[in-house]
């Protein structure tokens, strides 16, 4: 049982829908999830959690979603020591094959630069993008989802990833 801060930003609702499902799955495993839109949040709003799940789409050839872009300077001021942070991102691997889920790479780097621990790396196997700032070797730095082209896989990927982050956060994945 733990309290997890879940922050997301969205333009057309896909990331919000995914965030709600992740919240539900984390709660089914006995945790409390405080879910908030990143819009107009301060560094203290995020810094008060030791366990974080952060969700964001990538827009316009590798650009950050607007509310996350507005937050980036706040985030750079957070000391992530002792915090475990899991990222999930939404993207389109065919339409934007050279920028797939780029935003995850940008924000994951901030967490690492500020001494946080990333959890929830996800295999690139099963995706056909050309390049992603979120990719390190054969893994993404978080869960990438493509509801535009592979929505049939979204639920299965989300469930598996939530189990993985529960384990990596030291919380037991008791029920599915």
Q: Is 5 in the site for ligand FMN (CB under 6 A)?
A: no
Q: Which is nearer to ligand FMN, 45 or 148 (CB)?
A: 148
Burial of 112: CB neighbours in 10 Å, binned 0-12, 13-18, 19+? middle
Which residue, 13 or 137, has its beta carbon nearer to ligand FMN?
13
Cα–Cα distances (Å) from 74 to 48, 54, 107, 157, in that order, read: 13, 14, 12, 30
Torsion sign over Cα 22, 48, 59, 115: negative
Window 122-161: contact mask with ligand FMN (x via CB under 6 A): -------------------------xx-------------
CB-based contact 91:128 (threshold 8 Å): no
Among 6, 33, 53, 101, binds ligand FMN (CB under 6 A): 101
List residues binding ligand FMN (CB under 6 A).
10-15, 57-62, 90-92, 96, 99-102, 147-148
């Amino acid at each position: 049982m733990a309290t997890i801060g879940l922050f997301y930003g969205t333009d057309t609702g896909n990331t919000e829908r995914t965030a709600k499902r992740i919240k539900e799955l984390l709660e089914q495993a006995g945790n409390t999830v405080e879910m908030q839109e990143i819009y107009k949040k301060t560094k203290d709003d995020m810094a008060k959690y030791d366990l974080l799940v952060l969700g964001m789409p990538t827009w316009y050839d590798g650009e950050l979603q607007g509310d996350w872009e507005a937050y980036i300077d706040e985030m750079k001021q957070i000391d992530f020591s002792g915090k475990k942070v899991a990222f999930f991102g939404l993207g389109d691997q065919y339409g934007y094959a050279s920028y797939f889920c780029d935003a995850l790479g940008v924000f994951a780097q901030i967490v690492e630069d500020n001494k946080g621990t990333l959890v929830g790396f996800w295999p690139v196997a099963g995706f056909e993008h050309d390049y992603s700032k979120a990719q390190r070797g054969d893994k993404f730095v978080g869960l990438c989802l493509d509801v535009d082209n592979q929505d049939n896989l979204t639920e299965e990927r989300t469930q598996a990833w939530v189990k993985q982050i529960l384990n990596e956060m030291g919380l037991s994945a008791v029920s599915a």
